[in-house]
Amino acid sequence: MRMKTAQILMECLLEQGVDTVFGYPGGTILNVYDEFELHGYKNKVRHILTAHEQGASHAADGYARSTGKVGVCFSTSGPGATNLTTGIATAYYDSSPVVFITCNVSENLIGKDSFQEVDITGISMPITKCNYLVRDPEALADVMREAFAIARSGRPGPVLIDIAKNVTAAEADYTPLPLEQHASQGRLGAMLRRASHDLKTPEPDAGDIQTLLDLIETARMPLVLVGGGVIRSKGAVPEFRRFVERLGAPVASTIMGGGALPGSHPLFTGMIGMHGSHASNYAVDQCDLLIAIGCRFSDRVATDPATFARGAKIVHIDIDRAEIDKNVRTDHHIIGDARRVLELLNERLPQHAYPTWKEWVFSHSEVPLKRDDILHPHEILETVQDVTDGDAIIVTDVGQHQMWCAQYYHFSRPGQFITSGGFGTMGFGLGAAMGAAVGNPGKVVVHCTGDGCFRMNCHELCTEEHYGIPVITVIFNNRTLGMVRQWQNLIYKKRFSQTDLDRGPDFIKLAEAYGIPGERAADQAQFEAAFRRAVACGTSYVIECAIDKDAMVHPMVSAGTPVTDFILD
């Protein structure tokens, strides 16, 4: 059938099962937005109008991470498109599947420095899996289908589609195509096969599987390191847990691996790396076999690559061949989807135990936590855990509060911990929390943030209030850029340059200005009472927690040094 290309775009979203779009309109994308009213797509696809394009990008990302679906974000050209770039990079570094749809100026104006023209495909090329500039109306449907396939396939990630404005006003032929038929459709199937080398994930090599089984058989002190790849791989977590139970070895996690194994599990040693637990960091230093699954060995994990797991055979399991030997040299690797690799291992892995090794690892307990009249970060997270029975979705910004969440909240499932682990995006949390709440109605969503991070995108409170999105924002307010101050304290000899946040706003008055209730808490009892009220009310809520300006994340390893060289115990 013949229809306007803007309508074809909307029909393609419905083919993909899209129920929610986050976005912000502007001149070049108006033909698309007109379809919400002209043909009633507002009754089929919910549109969330954010206060800023960056908020929309993070919301689509949070929706994707918490649901496992592909998130969708709309924006206009020029500054609207460039405002998405931080969100695109955030999704890219954490392998989050989001399709960003922008519209550019008309074809006859491209390349002429026209009003609000920008080469967003060129700008976003290094931070997307794939991107497109659509000039042919007849190609749009297949481009849309291909983009979604690429975003969710292999190692997931963001894809950007930029459409010339005149294309959205044109007409083209459209034939409805159910999602399950996309890969087999002639021209589309060929496009999908050409588009990305990882659309068809390779079957793990049987010899590589056997080599790892042989290494396990001879190991006496193995350690498993789980990363975000296990979280992103559909169905991998149950297989991972079966693998861990059979192996019976200690398990450490990167920040992105949170939820792959319950935090309360007796084999779990905690986070590894710069702010890793003593048990995890000492274990990786002394193990004789390290099995790393779906992680990048970033500089926050392998703080000194030359000494990381210095006495171990290192085995790296990853879907992306480019990650192998990129940061840490390995002795063996297996290329494949984490779920499939673990399935094959579980078919042949006998039961193991390693009691002496585990006793040594878990003897490295942490320093007892403080309990006194002031409010400590761990008390905030313990209270959230207790009041919600550990079922809340935790979304963070970046900094000390992010590390405290990773350390003190016991995540039990994938998609429960949403954070910017790779790009480290301050201002990510509020938008991502909105996306998580929209995608998970009925779940308690807690946005943990610092006073510095919250200032960056706090205007999205108006979006929460308008759409009735129930996010509880907990501000760890130490009146400073806490993580930067911690580095200045420990490494820069207390030269506190430009980190004090001795200024407004009054966060509770700010929340009230947006029509959202708020409270302050100075001790654990006050916080628990406020948090219980926030959960009971079922709407957006802001709780400001007064914490010590010099509260620090313990432990800490300095960048570039071995993971056992703690400068802060």
End-to-end CA distance of the chain: 68
Handedness of CA 316, 322, 323, 328 (dihedral sign): positive
Catalytic, out of 165, 297, 434, 544: 165
Catalytic site residue 483?
yes
Catalytic site residue 239?
no
Catalytic, out of 221, 256, 483, 552: 483
Catalytic site residue 297?
no
Closest CA to 496 of 506, 486, 505: 486
Catalytic, out of 15, 53, 239, 544: 53
Strand partners, 46: 20
Whether residue 505 is preceded by a cis peptide bond, meaning omega within 30 degrees of 0, is yes
Contacts for 292 with CB less than 8 Å, ≥ 6 apart: 224, 225, 227, 314, 315, 316, 317
E-assigned strands of 124-166? 130-134, 159-164
Pairwise CA distance, residues 179 & 190, whole Å: 16
| Cβ atoms within 10 Å, residue 106 | 16
Distance set, CA 369 to CA 150, 356, 372, 408, 566 (Å): 46, 27, 10, 11, 18
Sheet of 471-477, strands arranged across: 417-418, 393-396, 445-450, 471-477, 541-546, 518-521
Distance set, CA 261 to CA 177, 231, 245, 295, 451 (Å): 39, 10, 10, 15, 31
Pairwise CA distance, residues 509 & 518, whole Å: 8
Contacts for 386 with CB less than 8 Å, ≥ 6 apart: none
Catalytic site residue 22?
no
Is residue 50 helix, strand or coil?
coil
Q: How many CA atoms lie within 13 A of 468 on its CB side?
A: 4
Which helix H or strand E contains 393, and what residues bound it? strand 393-396
Q: Cβ(564)–Cβ(273) under 8 Å?
A: no
Catalytic site residue 454?
no
Which active-site residues does the annotation give? 53, 115-116, 165, 483
